[in-house]
Amino acid sequence: MLKAAIISFAIFALVACQSDDRDASGTPIKLAPVREKTLAEAIIWLPAPIIHNTTQYTQTMRDNQHPQERLLMSRSGSFFGQYLGGYYVFFSEQSALTIYDEDEFLRWAISKNLSGTELVDRHKFGYMGAPNGGWYALYKLGALPCIVARVGANMGPRAADRMPFDSIIDAKFCGTQDEVDEVLAFLKRPRRVTDRDAFKAHVEANS
């Protein structure tokens, strides 16, 4: 006799700010620091330009099971990644809609000390149900090319099943044009670190 299996999905809202004690939906959350970690212990495979420009790396845990990592970089650069752990754990549909909403992206980017005129060259990629998507804008810091982006990704084992995002990344970076291009390519297709030794070597080579 066939038995019907009931699958429970855990749905989360994105965290608006790392210091908040509630997520974007107003649900109380607990953020706890973890033991001091180095950049070589990052959760996501960071590209060389971000590694080279990082001045500070910290990691926290949301509700004792979902890691978050924050990087500060030179030239006012920053990176904040929120990752959910678990086979059936995803960000809510509302979180995905926020990632794809142009007005929400502009509001968030302006909160990063950017003006509307600096965000004219902005682009959306992906669509609801795609494993990667969001918004990014290209601008200049003096003569230096820059990118600011807020993107979602499904980097877990259900990525091929058109499941919701399990990761959300905010980033702001300035560097050479080649470096900005490399960071953009990373943001469009981020991936978790699966080979720790190889990533450690990557960090050492680009620090």
Domain ranges of the chain: 30-206
What's the pLDDT band for 30 if we cut at 50, 70, 90?
low
Q: How far is CA 130 from the centre of its chain?
A: 16
Cα separation, 126 vs 136, whole angstroms: 12
Instruction: Report pLDDT for 84.
Output: 87
Residue 55: predicted pLDDT: 97
- At 164, is the pLDDT very low, low, confident or very high (cuts 50, 70, 90)? confident
More confident of the two residues 148 and 22:
148
Are the CB atoms for 139 and 114 separated by under 8 Å? Answer: yes
Q: Please, what is the average pLDDT of the chain? A: 84
- Bridge-based pairing of strands 77-83 and 89-91 is unpaired
Alpha helices (runs of H) in 27-156, residue ranges in sequence order = 48-53, 93-100, 102-110
Q: How confident is the model at residue 91 (pLDDT cuts 50, 70, 90)?
A: confident
Residue 166 has pLDDT above 50, yes or no: yes
The average pLDDT across 19-31 equals 48
Considering 2-6, 8-12, 92-96, the range whose residues carry the highest mean pLDDT is 92-96
Share of the chain above pLDDT 70, in %: 77
Supply the pTM of this predicted model.
0.83
- Assign 12 a pLDDT band (cuts: 50, 70, 90): low
Six token digits for residue 158: 């259900």
- C-alpha distances out from residue 71 to 31, 38, 49, Å: 17, 11, 13
Kindly tell me if the per-residue pLDDT of 20 is higher than 80.
no
The residue ranking higher by pLDDT, 103 or 27, is 103
